[in-house]
Amino acid sequence: MASQKATGLRRIISAFGYSIAGLKVCYKHEAAFRQELLVLLVLLPLGLWLGQTGVERALLLGSLLLVPLVELLNSGIEAIVDRFSGEIHELSGRAKDIGSAAVFLAIALASTVWLLVLSEHFSW
């Protein structure tokens, strides 16, 4: 008997469940993800309060959300590398370093957005 894949609403519900499971496993196993979520929880209300327009709020909040998003992708890359490569290999290290660089750039982007948006409102 051929397997039938879920479609429509059932597929959406299943996908949501897989997404929640991914967030939970990353939270459980990745300290960096937990730290980034803590920063996100502290700065999200601040971004809503400090942003004076919808665009500013979107920039402040969107740049913050980008950091854990990239961390999720980086953690996925690291899990795959660790799963399929038990030995130390140059390409494995390169993949992990590139993922880490992506997280660094996301943090740099968020920091820059916050600095530029807030510099418009405060004379430093």
Q: Is residue 71 annotated as a catalytic residue, yes or no?
A: yes
Task: Tell me how far apart the terminal alpha carbons of the chain are, to the nearest angstrom.
Answer: 69
Catalytic residue among 56, 71, 78, 87: 71
* CA distances, 77 to each of 18, 23, 60, 88 (Å): 17, 15, 27, 15
Please check whether residue 65 is in contact with residue 24, taking contact to mean a CB–CB distance below 8 angstroms: no
> How far apart, in whole angstroms, are the C-alpha atoms of residue 93 and residue 101?
12
> How far apart, in whole angstroms, are the C-alpha atoms of residue 67 and residue 103?
6
Q: Please give the distance of CA 39 from its chain centroid, rounded to a whole number.
A: 12
> How far apart, in whole angstroms, are the C-alpha atoms of residue 37 and residue 57?
18
Q: Which residues are catalytic?
A: 71
